[in-house]
Structure 1
Amino acid sequence: MTRLGFIFYSMIFLASTVMAGKPTVEEENLYNECDKGNGKYSSCTKLIEILSEKCDSGDMIGCADVGYIMGFELGMREASVAPLDKSCKAGIAESCYNLGIFDIMRRGNIERAFSSYVIACERFTDEKKLLKLKSCELRDALEGCLRDSKDRDPVKCARKAYGKIYQKYDENENSTKE
């Protein structure tokens, strides 16, 4: 897991303190013991169990957290789709953004990726300007891929667009650090 990925998850986990109440001490300890997917497996599975229960009871931040941990931290990508989809439909921009990545790169579901980026583009605030910009550009690029699907493969088009946009912002981010 990259440092940027850890920072992104931390933002989601911290957002849960505002939107759904503070994470319990147990949740914080489990996350630390899980060590972002590199620690105790039993801690990771217990954390997923707790967050899944929250998700099942309607806590959409819990759904976003469990989807992110499963997909990005532990590599359980297929299992992460359902909670990410549920929280995206509830308007959680980070879940829509992550679901869009899976749909483009793993599943080839360009229609749902487009829908996810429509929501992410609308829901990200200026506090998360970079993610908002990426989401809006991906939305526009995927719209073009879907519109031109008779002339070209929309999955290849979407993956190419994702690569260009990711590289563009990655290069911009690296150049501002220097």
Structure 2
Amino acid sequence: MKKIILVFVCLFFCNADILNHNIDDKTIINLSKECNNGNGAYGSCVEMLEKLKLGCKKNNMNYCGEYGRILNVDFDRREESVSLLYKACKNGRPAYCYELYKFDVYARGNLKRAKEVAQIACENLGQSNEIIKKETCFMSKKIDECIKNTNDINPVKCSIEAMEKYKERENYGRK
């Protein structure tokens, strides 16, 4: 029953380019496109998710990261996604550190891990991810300041405010 609900949600909410940045398996990319077209191809959604899950079990970190990201972003199965994103992050896939850092600050208040994974992203993201790299470098330092300065403000609130100010300053909401 969970699979049916998961697939139904995917038919309406998954991004069309959900897998294109880290998965080069043409079968999975095609399944993603079929799933995202909303043509009732829910079997494609199930198959795509199962292939990602299987690839993750075989320690393909791109599959773990994408599976975790899809569960987090598209299916609101955030708690389930955490271990997958962390596994990918800690094993050479810093883009997933970024996903986890945002979730840890905004939703979980886990600043210790947010700082850890933001620092990993900062140190390991390449020039193609310059915007994210810049944010994670700034925020890893800012989160540390917020944790140390508990006298003035709640550290989680401090971190969230720092993220919001950073995004405003960097004009993330460009029109």
Normalised to the residue count of structure 2, the TM-score between the two structures is: 0.81
**SS in structure 1 opposite 2:92?**
coil
CA positional deviation for 1:97: 0.3
Instruction: Please name the residue that 1:128 is paired with.
Output: 129
One-letter code of the match for 1:143? Answer: D
- Paired positions, count: 163
Q: Distance in 1 between matches of 2:142 and 2:37?
A: 32
Instruction: Please name the residue that 1:16 is paired with.
Output: 23
**SS in structure 2 opposite 1:75?**
coil
1:82-161 residue pairs with structure 2 within 5 A? 82-161=83-162
- Report if the CA contact (8 A) 1:67-1:83 is conserved: yes
- Report if the CA contact (8 A) 1:37-1:73 is conserved: no
**Gap change, CA 1:133 and 1:7, over 3 Å in 2:** farther
**Gap change, CA 1:139 and 1:168, over 3 Å in 2:** same
Superposition RMSD on alpha carbons, in Å? Answer: 2.7
Instruction: Please name the residue that 2:67 is paired with.
Output: 66
One-letter code of the match for 1:157? Answer: C
Q: Distance in 2 between matches of 1:9 and 1:135?
A: 22
**Gap change, CA 1:114 and 1:70, over 3 Å in 2:** same
Instruction: Please name the residue that 2:174 is paired with.
Output: 174
Instruction: Please name the residue that 1:20 is paired with.
Output: none
| Structure number having the greater helix percentage | 1
**Gap change, CA 1:128 and 1:39, over 3 Å in 2:** farther
Q: Distance in 2 between matches of 1:82 and 1:147?
A: 26
Q: Distance in 1 between matches of 2:38 and 2:95?
A: 19
CA positional deviation for 1:41: 4.5
Q: Distance in 2 between matches of 1:36 and 1:70?
A: 19
Instruction: Please name the residue that 1:79 is paired with.
Output: 80
- 1:82-123, Cα deviation, whole Å (9 max, x unpaired): 110110111311110000011011111011000010000001
Normalised to the residue count of structure 1, the TM-score between the two structures is: 0.80
Q: Does 1:45 align with 2:52?
A: no
Q: Distance in 2 between matches of 1:111 and 1:37?
A: 40
Q: Distance in 2 between matches of 1:47 and 1:106?
A: 27
**Gap change, CA 1:36 and 1:109, over 3 Å in 2:** farther
- Report if the CA contact (8 A) 1:117-1:136 is conserved: yes
- Report if the CA contact (8 A) 1:9-1:68 is conserved: no
**SS in structure 1 opposite 2:112?**
helix
Runs of 5+ in structure 2 lacking a partner? 1-13
CA positional deviation for 1:173: 6.7
CA positional deviation for 1:160: 0.9
Runs of 5+ in structure 1 lacking a partner? 18-22
Q: Distance in 1 between matches of 2:160 and 2:44?
A: 35
